[in-house]
A and B are shown apart, each in its own frame.
Chain A
Amino acid sequence: MSTETSQPNPARGTPSDAAEGMSVVARTQGQIIRRRFFRHRAAIGGMITLGAVIILAYSSIGFGPFPGWWDKTYYSTASVVDGGRPTLSLLPSFLGGKGLRWGEHPFGQDNVGIDYFALVMRGTQQSLVVAFLIGIVSTAIGASVGATAGFFRGRTEAVLMRATDVIIAIPTLIFAAILAAAAGRAGIVALGLAIGAVTWTGLARLVRGEFLSLREKEFVEAARAAGTKSRRIIFKHIMPNTVGVIIVSATLAIAGGILLETALSYLGLGVRAPDVSLGSLISLYETAMPTRPWLFWWPGIFIVAIALSVNFIGDGLRDAFDPRQTRVRD
């Protein structure tokens, strides 16, 4: 619900006050959306999970010049303890487990004794960077192409939309693989930019549709009559009305991005050795599944956790911006 009636105040009895008491509390659009979003429990859960994963990944092994709290690194080998079995235990002792325990190697060790927790955290960092880059790049391109095509119409639109059709004709994974084959060598930033450059088509079409209908509205007419420049109309008058579509798409692009990057890294075309991502870890230890299953489980669990929580956040945002098809019953 976007509006709420406040309690009438019995202390004051004048009719006008009573009518005022029944009146609707004014809220800005932003407040309404924020309230709707925070009522979406799955989205809040997703936000907490994603935040926890990000904090864990960056604080544990550190990044750049900043050291982390975890005392092992993702590249130094050590002697393999207990066959490399994970020491993490979540089952309390009275249920037959070993109690809540973090241990020496919580996620176990790989066959040369590298601490797997540190390795998975490193992979998570890389995958997160690429995923967010993909989200930013694809949103920026998609929104600009869609806005330009929808606002200027005519030949500009024809050229841009034909170009979009050409990119859609190549399956996303195929196109991303081709670009990544060259860009992957140049590091993860180039990889993120390359994948972002092929995943914007859906958003471009959505934004174009929104612009096509909005540019005919009276307020745009008024702005144009007042002599406003096109640039200002696009950014100040129309763009704010499409922000819902754009934000939701950006979220979903991040979720799609992490799946795409891990898939490419799994195929050996994304993040390359010696660097690791969650996808290349799975590819590396896929054959260890029958003997050392934990090497296979942990990266996958982190991919699913990130993708799932981002998807839930996207769902919450969609409900907040466009409450016509909410999943939660009012």
Chain B
Amino acid sequence: MAVFMARRLVISIFTLLAASFIVFWGTSIAGDPMADLRGLQDEGQAQQQMMARRERMNLDVPVILRYFLWLGDLFTGDLGVNKFGQSVSGILAPAVSATLQLVIAATVLAIVLGVTIGIVSALRQYSGFDYTLTFAAFLFFSLPVFWVAVMLKQFGAIKFNDWLRDPTIPLPVILVFAVLSGLAWMAIAGGSRQRRLTALGVAFVATAGLLWTLSETGWFSDPGLGVIAVLVLAFGSAAGVTFLIAGFRHRPPLFAALATAAVGFVFYLASEPILEEPNWGLIFLLALVAIAVGLGIGYLLGGLQRRQAMAVGAVTAILVGGIIFVDYMLQSYGDYYGRVRGRPISTIGASTPNFRGGFWESGLDSAGHLILPTMALLLISFATYTRYTRASMLEVMNQDYVRTARSKGLTERTTVTKHAFRNALIPVTTLMAFDFGAVIGGAVITERVFGWQGMGFMFIKGLQDVDPPPVMAFFLIAGGSIVVFNMLADIAYAYLDPRIRVS
């Protein structure tokens, strides 16, 4: 395995080198780097600046030599200067964090949502849910990102912020949402007519009731979870995780999940002094502790189902931690709302200019800026993942080993999660690496629409200025992360498919 990965890495590096030459060459011949100086009134000054720039960009040597000069600098850790003489690494540093945040958030969300919905869609093939999603996927494939992003700006930010001034949902809208949710759950539930109708009714009442309560109590003007919601969500996710990973047939995993949720809730009640003003290091540490606690509880309570119980405990711990995190963040919403003058969803930039706040407030600020670009990026990848997962799940469900699993009397849940799901993921991992490149391309467009000063902006500006060093810096990060994602996909592949590990 290690040899396999090492060989892959070496090949990737050479591929990247060849690709970097193409990018350098393409950028260098894209136009006239002096275009902005040719129009200057003062001839003498223009001449002088041109001379300086010619010197700085090595324009007197051929493009190939210029590439090797750049490459030589790169090996000493120097990204060079742009044509105006600014250091590229100075511009790059703030740009990278903004863009990577955006790209990674969109990719992770797309994988989680796309895979989940793809599987449900495959399990309920030919249902209304399936047909609707298929159509939606086709629509998403056909949407131009920039058009959607501008629409999101108009409706997701400007109109939504206006609505937040008096956040009540009119009754007809509530009913429409409730009917839609009822229909979706009816198709997802499947099975006998009675089961489907029950699902329809329950989902309708639950959605309508929830929306009505939220609207009437003015929840949207000060969203938050509070003690009761945290309690309900923690134990709800404990039950959900148990259902997905272990099922309810044996008690120990369920007990492990409930115990983990209970420990998490107790921590939540006592966490005020620790989480008042944390930092990312502390959050990371707490997440590790949470996983350890979940694993420990699973180990202690697991009995014969120890492995399952440990998995259930760890996943529950992560989810409960996430719920607590969201609750703390929303606690500072009131302050934040006041400070941005009632417009929490932002349309421009990666953070509010000159915004200084505590950990939670600046976190909320980032989230408010991140949400719309992420949605725009999510749309395309989501469709790809849904289609791929659905196709691969359908193929797997027809395999002999799934029939064997069913015929030996396993429950449908075990068949799907243990025998089919893992195998269905194998082709999806190869998609990951491909899709990541597409998301980076999408980020260039999204950044332009939302006015982020990220890497995409750097790339477009560098290209239009015929200025290779910033473009190359962008390409190094983008290409490098594609290589990393390729490696991750390979590791996931080896984990999912034992045949690769053995050979």
Contact = CB atoms under 8 A, between A and B. Distances in A.
Nearest to A166: B18
A250 B245 CA distance: 42
B479 A267 contact: no
A169 to B, nearest CB: 4
B134 A303 contact: no
B150 A279 contact: no
B463 A171 contact: no
B147 A308 contact: no
Given A178-B30, A282-B147, A172 B438 contact: yes
A52 B18 CA distance: 45
B441 A259 contact: no
Interface in B1-27: 11-12, 15-16, 18-19, 22-23, 26-27
A271 interface: no
A122 to B, nearest CB: 18
Interface residues of A, number: 44
B31 interface: yes
A155 interface: no
Interface string A172-209: 11110111011001000000000000000000000000
A182 B134 CA distance: 38
A315 B138 contact: yes
B354 interface: no
Interface in A114-164: 162
B142 A174 contact: no
B167 interface: no
Contact of A311 (B15, B138, B395, B471): B138
A307 B147 CA distance: 13
Contacts of B478: 171, 174
B278 interface: no
B19 A169 contact: yes
A243 interface: no
A141 to B, nearest CB: 16
Contacts of B143: 304, 307
Contacts of A165: 11, 15
Contact of B146 (A266, A304, A307): A266
Interface in A218-272: 255, 259, 262-263, 266-269
Contacts of A289: 150, 153-154
Contact of A279 (B144, B449, B474): B144
- Most A Cβ at <10 Å: residue of B27, B142, B391: B142
A263 B144 contact: yes
B444 A259 contact: no
Interface string B126-164: 100000001000110111111100100110001000000
Nearest to A172: B441
Contacts of A279: 144, 146
B29 A307 contact: no
Q: Count chain A CB atoms within 10 A of each CB in B26, B145, B464, B471 and give the residue with the most.
A: B26
B304 to A, nearest CB: 41
Nearest to B135: A42
B453 to A, nearest CB: 16
A289 B158 CA distance: 11
A282 B391 CA distance: 35
A290 B464 CA distance: 29
A281 B26 CA distance: 27
B243 interface: no
Contact of A174 (B12, B16, B134, B444): B444
Contacts of B479: 169-170
B231 interface: no
Given A162-B15, A165-B15, A282 B26 contact: no
A286 interface: yes
A64 to B, nearest CB: 28
A1 to B, nearest CB: 17
Secondary structure at chain B's binding surface: helix, strand, loop or mixed?
helix
A312 interface: yes
Given A182-B30, A182-B31, A308-B138, A269 B15 contact: no
A170 B145 CA distance: 20
Contacts of A262: 144, 146
Contacts of B22: 166-167, 170, 175
Contacts of B394: 325
A311 B475 contact: no
A178 B471 CA distance: 10
Contacts of B449: 286
Contacts of A12: none
B23 A178 contact: yes
Contact of A267 (B19, B126, B440, B445): B445
A289 B139 CA distance: 22
Contact of B27 (A167, A178, A283): A178
B26 A171 contact: no
A166 B142 CA distance: 27
Contacts of B19: 166-167, 169-170
A300 interface: yes
A182 to B, nearest CB: 5
Interface string A307-330: 110011001000000000101010
Interface in B448-472: 448-449, 459-460, 463-464, 471
B449 to A, nearest CB: 8
Nearest to B147: A300
A255 B146 CA distance: 16
B482 A178 contact: no
B442 interface: yes
Contacts of B18: 166, 169
A296 interface: yes
B343 to A, nearest CB: 15
Contacts of B474: 174
Interface in A287-306: 289-290, 296, 300, 303-304
Given A174-B459, A255-B141, A311-B138, A290 B475 contact: no
A169 B482 contact: yes
B437 interface: yes
A315 B141 CA distance: 12
A308 B478 CA distance: 29
B437 A263 contact: no
B463 A269 contact: yes
B26 A179 contact: yes
Contacts of B142: 255, 259, 303-304, 307-308, 311
Nearest to B24: A178
A278 to B, nearest CB: 8
Contact of A308 (B139, B153, B445): B139
B101 to A, nearest CB: 18
Given A172-B438, A173-B441, A174-B459, A181 B31 contact: yes
Given A178-B23, A290-B158, 4 more contacts: A166-B19, A173-B444, A174-B475, A181-B463
Minimum-distance CB pairs A-B, first 5: A173-B441, A307-B142, A178-B26, A181-B30, A171-B437
